[in-house]
Structure 1
Amino acid sequence: MKNYRFISISGTGRSGTNITKDILSKHPDVGTLPFEHRFTIDPKGLVDTFNTLRFTWSPYVVDYKINELENFLKLIGKRKFWRFQLGQLIKWLNRHGLNITPPAYYAWELSKWFPDYFEMVEKLIQQLIDFKYRATWPGAAPFNKNNQMRFVSYEKNLANIFGRFIQNLYQSFLKAHNKTHFVEDNTWSILFAPELFTMLPEIKFIHVLRDPRDVVVSFLNQKWTPNDLDQCIDYYISIISKIIENKKKIPAENILEISLEQLVEKPQRTMRQVCKFCGLDYTDDLLKIDLSRSNKGRWKLELNVNEQQRLNHKLKNYIDLFGY
């Protein structure tokens, strides 16, 4: 029986997680998706449901969150034609100055990548629910035939159920592609490292660091971050503070920290370290990739003197901590 392994590459965002995954994806034993699958860490996903049922449990909350989870997993499982076409149209209009939000997850189609995806989702929901009963409450989903509510007991072993679901999905992908290592780069997985480790104790995290000043300046140009310098600094500080806190909550052998600068300047040494951590044999084919566009020091080029001083002052603790 193959020994399957699961690796999550994560960071603050704009830190080099994508390029690290792209390098690892060249390994013959590694399977990756060409996008972030998001079902684990996004709102309404596994971790959200897991934490809500653990910390704010009530029969009403249970009914609401199970319905929410099922609808979310089905939404990202199959691409609907009209949603996709609408999303593409809005994307095109946005390039011409419209600035409107497209339908949620309109391009996602996880059933295309994970064999038996919908069967596994159905099994997950069945395993979570202890029983259904005829009842309703003011916040119940509308048009629910026979007023069916779902019940999950407070002491249910949710970590085991969610963990098996993740494991089965990843393994189905690996088996279909004859791979042994599933590598994903959901940017903020490390913000939920304790929960993911509880569900999947074998998971390993690669935390990719980058000069905090370059990260903040890169944030300024993203659609999912603020476009104000001081707001981006606060945004970064909150994310990196949570990462630092979470690193203390999982075993040291389950996390490896590298930096984008280290990867660019000493690629072979860094990737040998990464491969050893992941349980992979190193191969020079991994580095047949362009590492020249890392934008090191962009904060000096894109900010004026006053902005640079503000950046250095507010980020001093993190610049010193990470040795920049």
Structure 2
Amino acid sequence: MQVKGRIFIGGTGRSGTTILSKILGKHNNIYRFPCETRFIIDPDGIIDLVPALSDKWSPYIGSKAVCRFKKMMYNLGETEIMAVKLRRKVMSEVLNRSPKKYLHFPLGDIIGKKQYFKELNNFLDKLIDVEFKGLWVGTDSYLKNPKIFSTKKFAREEIINLSAEFINNLFTIPLKKQNKSFWVDHTPFNILHATFLNELFPDMKIIHIYRDIRDVISSYKTKNWGGNDAQDIILWQKQILQRWLEVKTNLSENSYYEIKLEELIDNPKKNLKDIFRFIGIPFDEKVLQIGLNKGHIGRWKKDLIKEEIDLVKKELFDIMKKYDYNW
């Protein structure tokens, strides 16, 4: 089956990426990955592998990048039984330690472990000339039987094409199972790396979904990955949004689309028709089956204290004005 379309959804986090992906996934020709795929743009992923094997290549940089990428893909590919997951979760909370990497991102299960590791190993074989027991001064401390990967040095275009082929081969597997020809990934920071995604897939479409940043900050306060207080979160959000404003200047207008969550909730049919027109695929009434909740719109009014609201205004006033949010 030929992949006809690649759709990336992105945002600041807590801005509606998941719900929008669920809506698009209701379309009869779009496959939605149940979890964020992560391995393309996360540290140690494809985004780090490409420069390490091309313009930044050295024997050690190449070896380290392949080793880290392989570990990442194994973390995403191997899953644990529920009892082990629960035990690890409890222990991490009791001991105040981070959990196992990518614990809730079972990409191997989604693709199918046998095919997942077959495609991964085929890809790695194209990158590695030979691996052997050995170490250098920068080898991770106290490894048992350390290895060095002797990697090829590629022209950037060549490793980009190999990486895109690997992703396509991997993602085509669930598409074939469901007889669909478009896929959608909703890793939030896709927007920050949209130019890289465009380099991988020149025909890709990226959708930035955003919402009132004050509501985003309210939501972040319930999480443990965006800052310990409102000031941390505000500065985190400011950097993300400023970076996106830079990134999109390097994209063609037909490759990205921006949608306000509040407008999607107020008029889903109209806005979804616009989104599908942008993607280049007929509208499907089934996408309206996903309910959109207005309950969290304006939550900042009760969640943020005056000092926090003043800080948002100080740091993010210009960005909020650009996206048509008023005070």
Q: Same fold (TM over 0.5)?
A: yes
> 188-197 vs 104-113, which deviates more?
104-113
* Residue 105 of structure 1 pairs with residue 106 of structure 2: no
SS in 2 for 1:9: strand
Shift of 1:78: 1.7
* Residue 61 of structure 1 pairs with residue 58 of structure 2: no
Q: Which runs of 5+ in 2 are unaligned?
A: none
1:159/1:199 contact within 8 Å kept? yes
Instruction: Please tell me the residue identity of whatever aligns with 2:116.
Output: Y
The aligned counterpart of 1:21 is 21
> 159-168 vs 195-204, which deviates more?
195-204
The aligned counterpart of 1:264 is 265
Q: Which runs of 5+ in 1 are unaligned?
A: none
Shift of 1:188: 0.8
What per-residue deviation string (whole Å, max 9, x for no partner) do you get for residues 253-303 of structure 1? Answer: 111111101101111110001111122221222112221245112222212
What per-residue deviation string (whole Å, max 9, x for no partner) do you get for residues 114-147 of structure 1? Answer: 25111110111111235557864223464448x6
1:86/1:102 contact within 8 Å kept? no
The aligned counterpart of 1:276 is 277
2:88/2:99 contact within 8 Å kept? yes
2:53/2:151 contact within 8 Å kept? no
TM-score normalised by the chain length of structure 1:
0.90
Distance 2:3 2:155 in 1: 31
Distance 1:133 1:93 in 2: 36
Distance 2:286 2:303 in 1: 34
SS in 1 for 2:87: helix
* Residue 186 of structure 1 pairs with residue 187 of structure 2: yes
Distance 1:236 1:107 in 2: 24
Distance 1:30 1:43 in 2: 27
Distance 1:309 1:108 in 2: 37
Match of 2:85 among 61, 74, 87: 87
Instruction: Please tell me the residue identity of whatever aligns with 2:124.
Output: I
Q: How does 1:97-246 map to 2 (within 5 A)?
A: 99-115=96-112, 116-130=115-129, 136-140=135-139, 142-144=143-145, 148-153=148-153, 155=155, 157-246=158-247
Describe the shift of the 1:13–1:114 C-alpha distance in structure 2 as closer, same or farther (beyond 3 A).
same
Describe the shift of the 1:230–1:108 C-alpha distance in structure 2 as closer, same or farther (beyond 3 A).
closer
1:159/1:198 contact within 8 Å kept? yes
TM-score normalised by the chain length of structure 2:
0.89
Distance 1:312 1:148 in 2: 51
1:7/1:205 contact within 8 Å kept? yes
SS in 2 for 1:138: coil
Shift of 1:176: 1.4
> 286-295 vs 248-257, which deviates more?
286-295
Shift of 1:54: 4.3
Instruction: Please tell me the residue identity of whatever aligns with 2:250.
Output: K
Shift of 1:313: 2.1
Distance 1:294 1:245 in 2: 32
Distance 1:223 1:86 in 2: 23
Aligned residues: 320
> 302-311 vs 84-93, which deviates more?
84-93
The aligned counterpart of 2:248 is 247
SS in 2 for 1:6: strand
SS in 2 for 1:7: strand
The aligned counterpart of 1:10 is 10
1:45/1:72 contact within 8 Å kept? yes
Alpha carbon RMSD of aligned pairs, Å? 2.3
Q: Sequence identity of aligned pairs in percent?
A: 29
2:54/2:153 contact within 8 Å kept? no
